[in-house]
Chains A and B, each alone.
Chain A
Amino acid sequence: MRELSGQNSWENPERLVSRLVAQLSHQVLWDSLLCFSPPLLVFIYMAGYLYHGAWVGPLAALLVTLVSIGMGILVVTFRYRPLVPSVAKASRLVDEHTGAKDRFLTLATIDPSRSPAALVARLRAETAGFLDRIELRRDFPYHVKNSSYASLIGSALALLLFHLLLPVAHSTLTSLPAPQRLREVAEKMAARPRLLEITRSLQTLAAKLEDPRVAREERRALIEETQKKVGEQQKKEEQKDDRDLLGQAASTLKDLEQQSGAGQDRQKNNEKGGGGMQSNLPQEGQGKGKPSPGGGGEQKGEMSAQLSKDMQQGKTAQGDPKEQSGEKNSPKQGDGKSNQPDPNRPDPNKPGMEKGKDSAGKTQGGGDDKGGRGKASEEIPHGTPPADRFHQAGEQGREGIKGARYVTVQLPEEMAAETKGEKGGNKDAKGNRVGSKVPVSNVPLPAHVPDAPTETQQMPLEYRGIIR
């Protein structure tokens, strides 16, 4: 306390109040800064992140940053100014700490020139006696306010949310058609002379992608070629902006490649299936699928999955009503219905399946019908399924079967048998292949893949009841 007295001896009460005002003002400023800095930094970080990720241009990022800083300064100022303690408030604080009964307040706020000098001097002398009771750093320490902690936590959460939602936003934004994205990138690149070649390639690719006449193989080749060009240019490019643009292009092309690759994988998976069921449901990514070159008549180029004889009779396919409920989900071994292979299980009749594929392969290139159906199978079917698959009850089907409301499913062994039979030539008078007298699926037979694994395609649920 002696040291404290010595420290305070040089100052008068008015100066003490001024010092307290300054100290409290600094504290309020710190409070405001700590409260508003985290969200401001988060905003700037977000802008920078979006800029580096090429989501926004440099101008937008700069604008957002500047606006954020400006808003931050405004908010800090608006919060800081009203909270800056007045001389009266500060002197009241001192009075409360020292028990001076508003002496500091009076001394700090009165106009000495308009007050009796004797009384002012007396008051100053009285007030100076209370200076020893206060030490500003000790009595008014700075504490971080709860609002600062709340701001920090809120900002961290916002940052976390930003990073969590960014992929969602990315997927939403990139859901634009690939050609359009390519065109957008190409437009940006057009302003850079060094990227003109890439720009043209991208524009060409976009046009090709939109052209339905272009074959998938050609598209894929074009994508790969453009990717190579972009990759090479990326390696050469030194400017950051150009690299970013090339990165965008590469990303879009990669997406395209993945889509086409996935389509190919799916098609391969379809091809791996032996005597499974064929469907004309829309299938993506068939660009790599081998197009049927035509020929083979109406039935050529398509896989005819045929029911067993029992199933053709409707007996087994529909099932005995009495048995259906009990046995529908529990096929018995040895039952006629259990002849239907489980598509999930590995097919033990792999050779048969291969034969079936062989037979499909043999159908290529023959006949008058120049692959109309084979070509159509490459296109993604839209709208309602073909009428010949879903006839109304009692309606005369194309193949002359009444009441056929099911698709045919050909088991591997049947396919093998059919293939053998075809060798003898099951053709009509015109030489066209005569199909079986059951409704058939219009999905073309997948291309033959030697040593392909067994089919893993799930049988659609809508057919299971019918088959069993």
Chain B
Amino acid sequence: MTGTWLQRVMTWWIFFRISIEERLVYRVDYVIGTLLRFLPIVTQIFLWMAIFDAASKAVRETGDSFQIAGYRFHEMVAYYLLVTVSRAFSSMPGLTPGIARQIRDGEIKKYLIQPVDLIGSLLLQRIAHKFVYYFVAILPFALVFYLLGDYFPNGWPPVDVLLVFIASLVLSFLLGFFMETLFGLLAFWFLEIASLTFVFMLLNFFLSGHMFPLELLPREPINWQFIVDLLPFKYLAYFPAAVFLGKITGAQLYWGLAIEFAWVVVLILLTRVAWARGVARYSAFGG
């Protein structure tokens, strides 16, 4: 029994290594891509500077204590920086279209014949990609956070909050992975899913907190805050950032983490069901 177990680990390890090597080949793309990731934040900072300027002047309040939706200016900037960190964990570029393409081109047959689990190997591939990404990205990330350290006047949060923050990041990776995989598997039913992917991206963009802190959403005439709370998107960007900034406190912290965990479990189950059903459908139609 240990033999097969060891073999399996070895298989996974080789797979993991190959994925890393494959990633490293495209180095130019990589370094440039990482640095460019921070450009949008720069424009966001300038945009909010202009907004805070105009809004605080209108009420004749000093720039520093003025708040919009409970955020001071430095917190707003810190929020966008932290969201980049969340997104570095939760975003899965190319995952959904990749799965859809494999299904459409029949490449998926490989996984039906070989004793390799598609979702497992994709997950491993992603972990490898993320590791390489952090390896390359840690320097620019450190540099940007160091340069913009002034926007974190309170420094690091307490240890318990920090632990919740890290846990929420790891969970957001899993959440992002299984959400995108689930969307990709829809290709078993809808051959052309490009526009579905776009809908997903759109929802993700606006409801995850990627574009702005979710506190900005109005409660009237539609209670958007309530809608966002019901959906899993906010754990992909907003939640870890809000935890770090101390916007979520006390028992809410652990409740949030528990709900995020529950979403991960639900999505794992859904992916499994979708995979089983999809494969059944696929073999029934003979590809």
Asked whether A and B interact, the reply is no
Chain A interface residues toward B at CB < 8 A = none
Binding site for A on B (CB under 8 A): none
